[in-house]
Structure 1
Amino acid sequence: MKLADRPPAAAAVFRTLLAHGPLSRAEIGRRTGLSAGAVTKVTAPLLSDGWITEQGRPAGERTNGRPATLIAVRPERACFVGVKVTADEAIAVLTDLTARPLTTARAELGSRDVGSVVLAIARLVEQVRAQACATDPQEGAEGGARPVEVHGIGVTISGDVDTRTGIVQYSPFLNWRRVPLAELVESATGAPTVIDNDVRALAVAEQWFGAGAGLSSFVLVTVGAGIGCGISIDGRVVSGAHGVSGELGHLPVTGTDRVCTCGNTGCVEAVASTHAITEQARSATGDPALTMDEAIRLAHAGNPAVRAVFADAGHAIGLAIASVANLLGPGRIIISGEGVATYDLFEEQIRSTFAAHAFGAAGDCDLVVRPLPFEAWARGGAALAAQLLLSPAR
């Protein structure tokens, strides 16, 4: 029986083990609200089908009764591919069931045309499968290396992405509108495919195996080409009723008349994205050819005009994360994205603005800076694909 065809209690147990295992049966019951008998009932077929396995008792446990046995998912039971798509390249990661990376690959995008991107994704999927087969061959029926079976694909992309329908409603960096990406990738690869906003996918990765693991709530803020936000509440990443959530970059917090990519003014992204910072640094220096790297060098050298640009960006980000802390009260805010490479130019202003505008105990929220490569974003896609195992057939 497929995982998606099992009763909801089995899906709840399996999902809990994926995110928090290994766990004892008692702990599974506590986390899922199931009785001891119900946990035993639903784990038995998962054990017999090889989706989960029993391990030894917890380290250091002392008991006068029957020792507790830990239960964990079997990582090798299934493989998934996560793909992160940027404006210029696609990054793929093949993982096991626990989202542990097995192989990775990258490909530059020669075109942002939908068909070209889908083809690039399909080729990357085959590439990481072939790499896994070459590095860890399994004997097939005729003695040769057996190709790795991909149980699901998760594609992550910036913009307004509707996971439920599999449609990219709008991706500004690719200039896509209403693209049925999940259907196209599934047709090209033959594997079940799920798509999601890239920042939400990264939040899933952080929830599973990153700085959000074990927390009841956290917020991930990404700084770079855009300003994104992933929100995890009570162990679940928020997707929004219409597929839109966490659009921190379009929170109106500044008095600027700069126009954002969304067409509005006052957005965080209008002053704090990489493109916005570069444009403002060009204006501040009078050099229309100034690059972001050159702006960073000038700021580190003490150029007051360019440092002011970074400070304004930090102020906008600080206002935004203070708003998030005031609204949600998360245990931690994780700051990541390619922009954190220059975090030293933002940090003082972000922290001072956050402290000034966070209300009461919200100011005690832990701010963690966490540089992450795009492979980590792709792992989030693989984690989403693993969760697809638990979804009813479409």
Structure 2
Amino acid sequence: MPSPTGAETFPAATAAAAHIFTAVLSHGPLTRLAVARRTGLSPAAVTKAVRPLIEAGYLVEQAGADPETRPALGRPAALVRVDGGRALFLGVKLTGDEIIGVLTDLRCRILLSRRVPMGDRAPRTVLAATADLVRELLAEADGYGVRVAGLGIAVSGDVDRAEGVVRYSPFLDWHDVPLAGLAAAATGLPVTVDNDVRALTVAEQWFGAGVGLSDFAVVTVGAGIGCGLVVHGRVVAGAHGVAGEIGHVTVDPNGPPCHCGNRGCVEAIAADAAILARIRETGGTEVADTAEAVERARRGDTDACEAYARAGAAIGRGIATVANLLGPARVIISGEGLAAYDLFAEQIREAFAAAAFGSAARCDVRTRPLPFEEWARGAAATAIQSFISAPD
């Protein structure tokens, strides 16, 4: 399945040019002077980098002026913006039982989306279903008249983006799957594979609640507890690719065992499966799924309420750990678990306030419900990121 119009190289040949393009992508339209101020580069360097991007059609000039840089006299400087229709990208989010795919433009705006059931979680089966979904999206992309320049795939767990390998995904039970290479061979597209929460964090940094912030975190609650970190303007993976794993921060040494091998991790207390296990343990009754657990808690069931309160306290302590270590300006809470947020919001706030040290308590903690299509959009954002990154 080759891309519709063949391969092409993005004309940003240097890291500075890629940095300039990213600034316009996130904050544009901007004047060249505003770009220089945001990137810390000289106006001459900005002008030199912008020219080939305009000639190639990735940036376009438009009339108007940025109020921050409007000259007191003379003609207003022209603005530059990203032409979103210049290239298309695909993003795929893999859950434990579903594959969600989106087609986006260069500005990561979702043009269409599709969902298919996963069924068998074996890598070969998932890859075949993903390739079929990509084939369907590529066929629809033909109608836009521009090429699909890359595919991003977001997977939970320990993902080595540089190598394109899923080291360990607990929900899929995958170990050392070279997903990027397999997907590239199956689809004919350049493929970027990343941890799903990090991918979502890229999208939030460029286009969401993290725009303009140099330091923030995204914490996701639901089937697992994840965390993406942005420090000094960069999404952090760490030396081994697992930075931000607050789901495996121990908050109760005597707590329940976690699949990672430790006890009392945030995830072992606050993930959906852990909440269901707690209700069964304390109440001695079966609970079918999360929807039933939520319904019981809202009805005032003591065991369900206790399980959610306990989960909220664990999440709050986990967020406080992030705030104490990194001092982010904002923590964005998202994930499918937000459907039950009213059941543990108070405990999150109280535990965070109690555990946050000093000024770390000033961190802006806010919720942002995002469907899985937005997670797939995050995967597309990583593909865009790879596309515009300079070879060096």
TM-score, normalising length: structure 2: 0.94
- Is residue 2:296 matched to residue 1:287? no
C-alpha distance in structure 1 between counterparts of 2:239 and 2:253, whole Å: 30
Output the CA distance in 1 between the equivalents of 2:160 and 2:30. Answer: 33
- 1:165-191: CA deviation from partner (whole Å, max 9, x where unpaired): 000000001110000000000000000
How many residues matched? 383
2:387 corresponding residue in structure 1: 389
Verify the 8 A CA contact 1:271 1:277 in the aligned structure 2: yes
Aligned pair 1:87/2:89, yes or no? no
Aligned to 2:26: 19
Check whether the contact 1:25–1:71 (CA below 8 A) recurs between aligned residues.
yes
Distance 1:7 1:162 in 2: 24
* 1:167 and 2:174 aligned: no
Give me the whole-angstrom Cα distance separating, in 1, the residues matched to 2:160 and 2:29.
Answer: 32
8 A Cα contact 1:282 1:290, kept in partner: no
Do the aligned residues in 1 keep the contact of 2:15 with 2:389 (CA within 8 Å)?
A: no
More moved, 151-160 vs 106-115: 106-115
Q: Distance in 1 between matches of 2:360 and 2:279?
A: 33
Deviation at 1:120, TM superposition (A): 1.3
Following superposition of structure 1 onto structure 2, how do residues 319-334 of structure 1 map, counting pairs within 5 Å? 319-334=317-332
Query: Within the alignment, does 1:29 sit opposite 2:36 as a pair?
Result: yes
Name the structure 2 match of 1:373: 371
Contact 1:103 1:132 in 2 (8 A): no
**Cα pair 1:281 1:290 within 8 Å, conserved:** no
> Counterpart of 1:119?
128
**In 1, are the aligned partners of 2:256 and 2:268 still within 8 Å (CA)?**
yes
Q: Distance in 1 between matches of 2:93 and 2:50?
A: 34
Q: Does the alignment pair 1:251 with 2:249?
A: yes
Offset from partner CA, 1:222-252 (integer Å, 9 cap, x none)? 0000000011122221111221111010001
Cα distance change, pair 2–130 in 1 and its aligned pair in 2 (3 A): closer
Residues 1:54 and 2:61 aligned together: yes
C-alpha separation in 2, matches of 1:312 and 1:20: 40
Q: Out of 62-71 and 381-390, give the one that drifted further.
A: 62-71
Q: How far apart in 2 are the matches of 1:342 and 1:318?
A: 15
Q: Is the 8 A contact 2:315 2:348 kept in 1?
A: yes
Q: CA deviation at 1:58?
A: 2.7
Match of 2:3 in 1: none
| Comparing 296-305 and 285-294, the one that deviates more | 285-294
Q: Distance in 2 between matches of 1:71 and 1:255?
A: 54
Match in the other structure for 1:72: 81
Residue correspondence of structure 1 range 222-301 to structure 2 within 5 A: 222-301=220-299
Supply the distance in 1 between the matched residues of 2:390 and 2:43 (Cα, whole angstroms). 26
Q: Which moved more, 1:247-256 or 1:80-89?
A: 247-256
Worse-superposed segment, 204-213 or 164-173: 204-213
Q: 1:9 to 1:292 in 2, by over 3 A?
A: closer
Superposition misfits of 4+ residues, deviation over 4 angstroms? 59-62
Q: Which residue matches 2:106? A: 97
The structure-2 alpha-carbon separation of the partners of 1:182 and 1:351, relative to structure 1 and needing over 3 Å to count, comes to same
CA RMSD of aligned residues (A): 1.7
**Structure 1 residue 16: deviation in Å?**
1.9
User: Is contact 1:3–1:11 with CA below 8 Å preserved after alignment?
Assistant: no
The Cα of 1:121 is off from its aligned counterpart by 1.3
Show CA shifts across 1:23-54 (max 9, x none). 11111112222211111111111111111111
| Aligned mates of 2:128, 2:311 — CA distance in 1 | 37
Secondary structure of 1:3 counterpart: coil
Question: Shift in Å at residue 5 of structure 1?
Answer: 6.5
Contact 1:4 1:11 in 2 (8 A): no
State percent identity of aligned pairs.
52
1:318 corresponds, among 298, 316, 319, to: 316
Establish whether residue 178 from structure 1 lines up as the match of residue 176 from structure 2.
Answer: yes
Q: Distance in 2 between matches of 1:47 and 1:149?
A: 18
**Quick one: distance in 2 between partners of 1:79 and 1:250?**
36
Does the CA-based 8 Å contact 2:203-2:378 persist in structure 1?
yes
Aligned amino acid, residue 267 of structure 2? E
Counterpart contact for 1:93–1:375, Cα < 8 Å = yes
For residue 201 of structure 1, give the secondary structure of its aligned residue in structure 2: helix
Deviations 1:80-110 (A, max 9, x none): 0000000101100100001011111011012
Q: Which moved more, 1:303-312 or 1:51-60?
A: 51-60
Spell out, residue by residue over 1:40-83, the C-alpha distance to the aligned partner (whole angstroms, 9 max, x if none): 11111111111111122236546313412111111111100000
The code of the aligned residue for 1:230 comes to G
What is the alpha-carbon distance in structure 2 between the residues aligned to residue 204 and residue 292 of structure 1? 29
Amino acid at match of 1:119: A
What SS does the aligned partner of 2:344 have?
helix
Q: Which deviates more, 330-339 or 359-368? A: 359-368
Q: Which moved more, 1:371-380 or 1:54-63?
A: 54-63
